[in-house]
Structure 1
Amino acid sequence: MKSKVINIREVVQQAMTTGYLTIAAEEQLRRLLTTKYGFEDFKAFMKLQQAAMEGQVRQESRELARQKQLSRHLRAS
C-alpha cells in the first residue's frame, strides 16, 4: 500500500485545528522543509510559527522539555 504524500500545509492545518503540534509532526515538518516546497507551504509554516509564539498552538517537544527541567529542579531541591 502506497502512503499518501503530505505537504507542509496539511501538517500545519492539523496543528492549527487541534492547537497541538506533536513531536511526530515536528519531525515530519523538518523532513518536508528539506525538500522543495512552494510559497503557500512557506506561508503556512510561518503562520504555524506565529501561532506557536502566541500560544495558540502548543508544542509537545517544549512541554516535555519543561517537564524534564521541572523534574530535575524538584529533585535538586
Structure 2
Amino acid sequence: MSLISKIVQQALVTGYLTVEAEEQLRQLLKTKYDFDDFMAFITLQKEAMEGRVRQESRELLHSRRVSALV
C-alpha cells in the first residue's frame, strides 16, 4: 500500500483528515501515483463531501470565521 492510500485509509478509519495529512496528500499528488492511489483519493473526496470524513482545515477556517464575528 502506498503512502497516499495509507493516508486515505487512516482518514477513513478515524473519520478525520488532519492539516498535516492534507498537506502530505497535496505534495504526493504532485508526483506520479498509480490508479489505486487515484481511486483512494476519489473515495476520500466523496466521503468528505458526504460528511463521513471531517477536515481539520475546514473546522479551523470555520472557527476563525465564528471568532471574527464575535
TM over 0.5: yes
Structure 1: stretches of 5+ with no match in the other structure: 1-5
Structure having the higher Rg = 1
Output the aligned Cα RMSD.
Answer: 0.7
Structure having greater relative contact order (Cα 8 Å, sep ≥ 6):
2
Identity %: 59
- TM (norm. structure 2) is 0.96
Q: CA deviation at 1:7?
A: 1.6
- TM (norm. structure 1) is 0.87
Residue in 2 aligned with 1:3? none
Deviating above 6 A after TM superposition, structure 1's stretches of 4 or more consecutive aligned residues are: none
Q: CA deviation at 1:69?
A: 0.1
Structure 2: stretches of 5+ with no match in the other structure: none
Q: CA deviation digits over 1:15-58, x for unaligned, max 9?
A: 00000000000000001000100000000000000000000000
Count of aligned pairs between the two proteins: 69
Return the alpha-carbon distance in structure 2 between the equivalents of residues 7 and 72 of structure 1: 37
